[in-house]
Structure 1
């Protein structure tokens, strides 16, 4: 009985194959394709043009001083906790995470956290973290320090950057005074 079932299955596969081949032959007999002498859809010539001028340099950031005058440290704290707390800590004496502890960062030298392994890009920066440098860093870390390991894309909104900087100033005992709003 088992061999009878095998024969039926084999016959079904063979019949399907023959039917497929016959339908292909009939299709070629019934339909006579005509070769195209020109494309059915005309595509215009694309002229290769070289750029006439270099791409425009990015616009400079607006000065952060005037925005800091009205910045809200509490909004900055909420924003910093949402955007930065996955990698950074903010409490005095806090241990670094993926990123360094940010307590006291305003006015501190670049690479201020002892024992944290900063990228060569940040180690090469001289001087303290001032308000304008923090503004540039928070806007786009990869532009401020090309080669940085920080994967954060940045904060495009200038007022939000000012709020975060105001918060960082509030947790920086040695922060310099705010620049005068011009």
Structure 2
């Protein structure tokens, strides 16, 4: 398990104090009718034979409850397992967003739809603070700094090349005339 996943698990556990998680899911998405799929991490039933091993694909039983506290989201399945959601697959969060909008609009729920538990903690939970990233300080510019101007730049003339080409052309014309070819001289 990498450090980023471990950090997300610790953050989720801090938001969901008292919840015993069955596992944590990354790249989560909901498959019809209402089961959660994704990659499992830290499953309590993981064994040495590779069952429920970290990074393996999992499909949970149907979702019965959706819990949200702080920035964390976890689900409870019909079998009673609690799975923390660490990250969503692309567009995997849309099911939860649509379901939450419907939950807010409807007085009564459709039978079998998950129940939302949106507990707001009355007191902020103490956490470890992150040290702000240090940025290199910029030295103030002196008042005697040069004022930059924009000038159009052109390629420098290479007179040496042009002289060489002129000599080459004259020798070529002389060779052609010696071999009997008539040439013309342009008027200047």
Q: Which structure features the higher share of strand residues?
A: 2
TM-score (norm: length of structure 1): 0.22
Q: Which structure features the higher share of helix residues?
A: 1
TM-score (norm: length of structure 2): 0.22
The higher relative CO (CA closer than 8 Å, separation ≥ 6) is in: 1
Structure possessing the higher radius of gyration over alpha carbons: 2
